[in-house]
């Protein structure tokens, strides 16, 4: 697994590298002392899984770098590292996965890595189905939602649309505990792609809006709240 560490202070890079090596010996770790150099290293970022990024650096700040990297490489888990607690809200805005204080790294690092690796493992889960278009293997994380259309169920992913003659109840059961919520009988939604839920309507990150029945609304809202709390 490839991991990047970006900090303009060598002693802070060394601390993170040492913690990573103690946690797991097989990581491929690349260091950067400049966020601009990091952002332009596309060959490494394309396969990088985790990025430890200092917020306060000379030149381009860590927050600017995080925003740029997330827009180009959305699957990278960015962990913002800083000496100042007041950047937590900014970290949320740039879609950082975690926020760590430098003074607490020895106490918080291992738990942070445990959580991030668990999330990566979940993202890499795959399912195989015999679709009308032929057998296909899909990353669970790439499925945006499944919609019933007459006698078929349609899988909408980030790159394709596939149809299958399977009951929605069966699909819901097979994808149980993988981050999906049944809105009503016609929709099974990957909660990763929910942008907001309000006034009995759900808006996805794709812009699609789906009505949520009043009878289902409290349960759907609760499931989504619990899901967001584990991210």
- Mean pLDDT (whole number) for 57-63: 86
Whole-angstrom distance, CA of residue 200 vs CA of residue 213 = 7
- Per-residue model confidence (pLDDT) at position 119: 83
Whole-angstrom distance, CA of residue 3 vs CA of residue 181 = 32
In this prediction, residue 63 has a pLDDT band, given cuts at 50, 70 and 90, of confident
Q: Each residue of 144-155: pLDDT tens digit?
A: 999 999 899 999
- Per-residue model confidence (pLDDT) at position 86: 65
Residues 102, 103, 104, 105, CA torsion sign: positive
In this prediction, residue 194 has a pLDDT band, given cuts at 50, 70 and 90, of very high
Q: Each residue of 70-115: pLDDT tens digit?
A: 888 888 999 999 877 665 556 556 667 788 888 889 999 999 999 8
- Going by C-alpha positions, the residue among 129, 213, 142, 204 that lies closest to residue 174 is 129
- Per-residue model confidence (pLDDT) at position 49: 93
């Amino acid at each position: 697994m490839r991991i990047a560490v970006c900090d303009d202070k060598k002693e802070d890079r060394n601390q993170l590298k040492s913690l990573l090596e103690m946690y797991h010996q097989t990581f491929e770790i690349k260091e950067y002392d400049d966020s601009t150099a990091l952002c332009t290293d596309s060959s490494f970022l394309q396969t990088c899984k985790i990025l430890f990024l200092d917020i306060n650096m000379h030149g381009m700040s860590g927050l600017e770098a995080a925003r740029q990297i997330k827009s180009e490489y959305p699957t990278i888990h960015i962990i913002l590292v800083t000496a100042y607690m007041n950047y937590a809200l900014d970290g949320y805005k740039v879609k950082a996965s975690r926020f760590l204080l430098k003074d607490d790294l020895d106490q918080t690092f291992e738990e942070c890595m445990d959580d991030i690796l668990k999330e990566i493992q979940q993202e890499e889960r795959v399912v195989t189905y015999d679709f009308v278009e032929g057998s296909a293997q899909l990353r669970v994380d790439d499925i945006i939602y499944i919609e019933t259309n007459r006698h078929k169920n349609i899988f909408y992913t980030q790159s394709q649309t596939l149809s299958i003659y399977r009951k929605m109840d069966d699909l819901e059961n097979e994808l149980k505990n993988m981050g999906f919520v049944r809105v009503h009988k016609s929709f099974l939604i990957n909660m990763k792609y929910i942008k907001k839920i309000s006034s009995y309507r759900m808006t996805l990150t794709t812009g699609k809006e789906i009505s949520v029945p009043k009878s289902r609304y409290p349960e759907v809202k609760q499931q989504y709240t619990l899901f967001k709390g584990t991210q």
